[in-house]
Homo-oligomer: A and B are copies of this chain.
């Protein structure tokens, strides 16, 4: 067997521990699959006291030079997270001619161009499968499996925490706040849940895979993002009645001219596969012009699933090291200098069907007032549900619209919310039918 390939890990938190565990426990399996031993040589962590995993003392260090300065180590695994010092660590590893594996979606979404450009110049590779969808091999699918396709759209459930909360709300009729508290108690949600429930985490992932899929840089600030905090049990109940499920979808589309990218609560038909992705599971529904529709589903987070993806990348890079090849697969599916620069479609131009729930006083003429505003804004109504459910002293009217422009919907909703018969902010949820 060939001589070993040495790996260094920076950051031994949850995912780092999963990666170390796999490398330490599955040496035989990995050696068989790579054709050379893959050896974890060093773990650098700033806080060695926090390390829970049992590893030999000699593996641990607090000194980054024990990795960067070790010429035997050819693969550096960055699992620190966040922008800095993770960015500097990765750039330093690249500068020293080391290949990098990272699960850092926030960093890649914000500084991907800089990092991939530096890696390209130095001729090293960046593995980042674990940055999107945990253990689901979606980056590999886009960059390699579906390479013959013009990707037309990606619809995904890309955040496990918010999917867990929506699933619980759906199954138990509980409120967002109650489920969030429970999820926090169970460790499924962070103390500060904003990153997950406001769609920011999903937007990071959408930025990365849309960039890959369309060969054009999609930045975080390009993505319209709306969270799930305002979804109420009554909306989920109405959705069910209408044959839909409410999911936090990350959506991007490309028609070759422009790119549409957005993250928001979405109603999808209940028989759709994505409607049946529940709990902490993630899924990516990809449409290519040749392959048609492909769905990839699995655990989008967690020590071992994400560890599995990181080690998948370590094996990939080890196979390169063994064969003495680099830059075999362009990091972003095509060379950076060949990336397109497609414009982002303004959110105002979005056209889709909508669910609207109006909170109104229960008096004659209310329906016609609302319908009047919608009509004057070019929004036509497909169906109406009005029944005497009591929500905080007012009555809900639910309407499903035909396809309408986002800008018209917003204008109409703003006007309706100023009507004196309206008792609370109107809820509207976009519908995806034609997926």
Contacts and interface: CB of A to CB of B under 8 A. Distances in A.
Contacts of A135: 146, 288, 290-292, 294
A276 B285 CA distance: 15
Nearest to A302: B292
A304 B294 CA distance: 13
A363 interface: no
Contacts of A30: 147-148
Interface string A309-340: 10110111001101111011110011100100
Nearest to A289: B304
Number of copies: 2
Nearest to A278: B271
Interface string A215-245: 1000000000000000000000000000000
Interface in A104-145: 129, 135-137, 140-141, 144-145
Contacts of A410: none
A35 interface: yes
A299 interface: yes
Interface of A is mostly: mixed
A35 B315 contact: no
A214 to B, nearest CB: 11
A299 B293 contact: yes
A215 B33 CA distance: 10
A35 B435 CA distance: 32
Interface in A320-376: 320, 322-325, 327-330, 333-335, 338
Contacts of A316: 144, 147
Contact of A295 (B289, B295, B314, B327): B295
A311 B291 CA distance: 11
B294 A298 contact: yes
A291 B276 contact: no
Contacts of A140: 137, 140-141, 144-145
A273 interface: yes
A276 B295 CA distance: 12
A315 B26 contact: no
Nearest to A314: B148
A295 B284 CA distance: 10
A429 interface: no
A423 to B, nearest CB: 37
Given A290-B308, A297-B294, A308-B288, A145 B137 contact: yes
Given A137-B145, A295-B298, 9 more contacts: A32-B215, A135-B294, A137-B137, A140-B145, A291-B309, A292-B305, A295-B295, A320-B328, A328-B328
